[in-house]
Amino acid sequence: MIVPIFFPYLGCHHRCTYCDQKSIIGFEKGSVFSYIAQTLDPYTNTGKQIEVGLFGGNILGIEYKTLIELFSYFDPYEAIIQNFRISTKPVSVDTKTIHLLKERRVTIIELGIPIFNNTILRHLNRHHTVEDLFAAYAILKDNGFSVALQVMVGLPNETREDMERATKHIINLNPAYLRIYPLVIFRGTPLFSQYEEGTFSPVSFNEVLLRTSLLYLSALKHNIKVVKIGLTANEIIENNVAGGYYHPAFGYLVRAKVFYDALTLKLEQAGNPKRVTVLLNKKDIPHLVGYRRSHMHLLAQNGVSIEWQAIDCNEGTFIITVDGGVIEGTVFDGHPTL
pLDDT at 15: 83
Give me the long-range contacts of 100-108 (CB less than 8 A, separation at least 24): 100/64, 100/67, 100/68, 100/71, 101/145, 102/143, 102/144, 104/71, 104/74, 105/81, 106/145, 107/83, 107/145, 107/146, 108/83, 108/84, 108/145, 108/146, 108/147, 108/148, 108/176
pLDDT at 309: 97
Closest CA to 256 of 288, 298, 221, 225: 288
Across 179-198, average pLDDT: 94
pLDDT at 24: 36
- % the chain with pLDDT above 70: 96
pLDDT at 25: 42
pLDDT at 296: 97
pLDDT, one tens digit per residue, over 206-241 is 999 999 999 999 999 999 999 999 987 666 677 888
- Report all structural domains of the chain as residue ranges with CATH numbers, in order of start: 2-248 (3.20.20.70), 259-333 (3.30.2320.30)
Whether pLDDT at 333 is above 50: yes
Q: Give Rg (Cα) of the chain.
A: 22
Exposure on the CB side of residue 117, measured as CA atoms within 13 A: 22
Please, is 74 exposed, middle or buried when counting C-beta atoms within 10 Å of its C-beta (0-12, 13-18, 19+)?
Answer: buried
pLDDT at 240: 85
pLDDT at 19: 85
User: How far is 140 from 146, CA to CA, in rounded Å?
Assistant: 8
Model confidence at 160, pLDDT cuts 50, 70, 90, reads very high
Across 302-310, average pLDDT: 96
Give Cα separations from 119 to 116, 122, 125 (angstroms).
9, 5, 10
Q: What are the DSSP calls for 17-60, one per residue?
A: TT---SS-----HHHHHHHHHHHHGGGTTS---EEEEEESS-GG
Whether pLDDT at 36 is above 90: yes
pLDDT at 195: 95
pLDDT, one tens digit per residue, over 89-127 is 999 999 999 999 999 999 999 999 999 999 999 999 999
Whether pLDDT at 272 is above 90: yes
pLDDT at 13: 81
* E strand residue ranges, 79-177: 81-88, 106-112, 146-153
Whether pLDDT at 51 is above 60: yes
Model confidence at 307, pLDDT cuts 50, 70, 90, reads very high
Please give the model's pTM, rounded to 2 decimal places: 0.93
Eight-state DSSP code of residue 312: S
Whether pLDDT at 8 is above 70: yes
